[in-house]
Amino acid sequence: MSLSSVPAAHGPSAPAPTSHAAADRRAVAARPAAARPAAARSAAARTEPESTGAEAIVRSLDMLGVTDVFGIPGGAILPTYDALMDSPRIRHVLVRHEQGAGHAAEGYAAATGRVGVAMATSGPGATNLVTAIMDARFDSVPLLAITGQVSSEALGTDAFQEADIVGITVPITKHSYLVTEASEIPGVLAEAHRLALDGRPGPVLVDITKDAQQGTAPFVWPPEGHDAPAASTAKVSRSQIRRAADEIARADRPVLYVGGGAVRAGAAAELRELADLVGAPVVTTLMARGILPDSHPLNLGMPGMHGTVPAVLAMQRSDLLVAIGARFDERVTGDRAQFAPDARVVHIDIDAAEISKLRHAHVPIVADARTALPELTRALRSRDARADLGAWWSFLDGLRQEYPLGFSPTSDGRIAPQHVIQRIGRLTGPEAIYTAGVGQHQMWAAQFIGFERPQAWLNSGGAGTMGYSIPAAMGAKVAVPDRVVWAIDGDGSFQMTNQELATCAMNDIPIKVAVINNSSLGMIRQWQNLFYGRRYSNSDLGTGQDTVRIPDVVRLAEAYGCAALRVEDESEVDEAIGTALAINDRPVVIDFVVSADAMVWPMVPQGVGNDRIRYARDHEAAFGDGV
């Protein structure tokens, strides 16, 4: 192991437009309730002297409680950047790529539950945000993307750096707005910020023309409707709660199936109270790791393609699934026709569109989990008798004993990547925040780090976005600077957004980065090994031991102003992690050179039922009658 010598760090409205024609776009430009004439506004609204649209953007963000923005300036957003210089309360983090701004805003939001804000210019600046916007939509992350746009008279003329970003993002946002008047800005931003959080969280885009930023109008705050009650406060159907309680009380093999929606709802305490009362096993999806502590005796771990055998087979054998903020995606269910054939379903979700979309819900409950779970707990307490779960737990405890989560020594004598990740978790502890890219390292991190609290595990679940880890860690560290933040990345994901290490170094954001370097696109290589006759087509990267080492991870990290280490022997792992934890004045990057032959197990091959889960390469877990 070597430590580089590094100098000190540097200090809902009108439908969104989809047509590219200028006349059409002007006709349907967003005009929310908050942008109505002054006479229609709340009497409590305060009108102040005229300000420019750019000043109104900054002022509105300040009034909404935004303290941090990630972005890059460009011509169409430059008036706003000029106004931003005068804000004493909003910190702007200058990223190196707009995708990094989007993922940083995601990490910020996921770590706190607050809206993350990303800003970019028109054309390619805006389109570079699209991946992060899609990612936030999949994973229900409250993201506000503000983009500059060419002046309104140039719309539809193919002007320099013009792109119909509203039309592009309509399918992947909760709403996309086009603002062409300075007077609309406070109302639109207030509504967009609220919409990002309300109901099922998600991304909202506000595209603001340059002349709207340069124009002037009286600044009115608060806009009309700004203090309306949130959807999450809506009442829960008592009859449906009673039906759900009846289902749970008579179930012999219940499972609480908890997804990321429960995390977004902030329902950890409510979930734990329900679980302790019912005594049923709990499985937490990739997006919900930590909402029930891994150390809790009811927690069977993660279900799905790379879930634990007890979690996967518990769902498969259950007679009742209580889905809480989960969406029955194919990575959890496997072949849906064969998934949990005997299970009835209670489905609690704030998004009505998710209920019975992929699996029929016998008891649908459209509600915020934090509101619904206490109601369900109270209903269950009033019941004198519930089914005895002794036989069910006997079966599950047998699975736990027979199929513990673990890993085998590597075939080439190099470091086992699972060991590295496990040691990072144990030496750092559960109070840290861990982000991951996408691939094998993501699954190993989900498996081998012990998560004891929600919002400690941030990753790209639905979209599977390589490059998420480093900028998301950066955003999380800005949001929660007192927590240690680790970005656990693969050498493939690392190369997609590592330029944000410069952002971290220049802005005193001391994240820790563990590059799990197997010199390949590891999950692609695993599938090629298992399903394509070991034909490794375009999956070798040349970054590891006995390769050309392009790039050299240590030298690259040094160039970005980071402390850098390389670990090639298992005996050096703990020392390197300890060194990284002791450095807090700049980012640290550790190049862990690991075996390329390590695989993620257990695994349910794509397209088969979950009863076909493979514990290891030649070991298919037995699925018998059991109970």
Q: Where are the domains of the chain?
A: 46-221, 238-403, 417-593
Q: Above pLDDT 70, what percent of the chain?
A: 91
* E-only strand ranges, 457-549: 457-458, 485-490, 512-517
pLDDT at 620: 74
Which residues of the chain are under the pLDDT cut of 50?
Answer: 4-43, 625
* Residue that is written with structure tokens 């749970």 in the block: 248
Write down the catalytic residue from 287, 466, 496, 523: 523
Q: What's the pLDDT score for residue 101?
A: 98
For residue 114, the one-letter residue type is R
The confidence score (pLDDT) of residue 618 equals: 75
Report the candidate in 421, 482, 435, 381 with the shortest Cα–Cα distance to residue 109.
Answer: 435
Sign of CA dihedral 234, 240, 246, 251: negative
Whether 417-593 and 238-403 are alike in CATH topology: the answer is: yes
Please give the pLDDT value at position 47: 73
Catalytic residue at 149?
Answer: no
- 400 residue type, one letter: R
Catalytic residue of the set 48, 153, 160, 431: 160
Q: What is the pLDDT of residue 37?
A: 32
Max Cα separation, the chain? Answer: 75
> What's the pLDDT score for residue 33?
34
Q: Find the DSSP H helices in 182-256.
A: 185-197, 210-214, 238-250
Q: Which of 174, 210, 477, 512 is catalytic?
A: 210
Please state, in angstroms and as integers, the Cα–Cα distance from residue 145 to each residue in 63, 119, 149, 198, 287, following that order. Answer: 17, 6, 13, 16, 23
Peptide bond into 218 cis (omega under 30): no
- Distance in angstroms (rounded) separating the CA atoms of residues 290 and 284: 8
pLDDT score at 21:
35
From the number of C-beta atoms within 10 Å of its C-beta (0-12, 13-18, 19+), residue 237 rates as middle
Q: Is 357 one of the annotated active-site residues of the chain?
A: no
pLDDT reported for residue 43: 42
pLDDT score, position 3: 53
CATH class given for the domain over 417-593: alpha beta
Active-site choice (1, 50, 63, 161): 161
Residue 349's pLDDT is what? 98
CA atoms within 13 A on the CB side of 528: 15
Please report which residue ranges of 382-488 form alpha helices under DSSP H.
390-402, 417-428, 440-448, 469-479
The neighbour count for residue 228, using CB atoms within 10 Å, is 11
98 is catalytic: yes
CATH superfamily of 46-221: Thiamin diphosphate (ThDP)-binding fold, Pyr/PP domains (3.40.50.970)
Q: CATH 3.90.340.10: does it fit domain 238-403?
A: no
pLDDT score, position 450: 97
Q: Is 512 a catalytic residue?
A: no
In angstroms, how far is CA 463 from the centroid of its own chain?
9
Write down the catalytic residue from 55, 98, 184, 224.
98
Catalytic annotation on 315?
A: no
494: enclosing H helix or E strand: helix 491-497
Q: What is the pLDDT of residue 49?
A: 79
Closest to 262 (Cα-Cα) out of 271, 254, 253: 271
Distance CA 86, CA 106 (A): 25
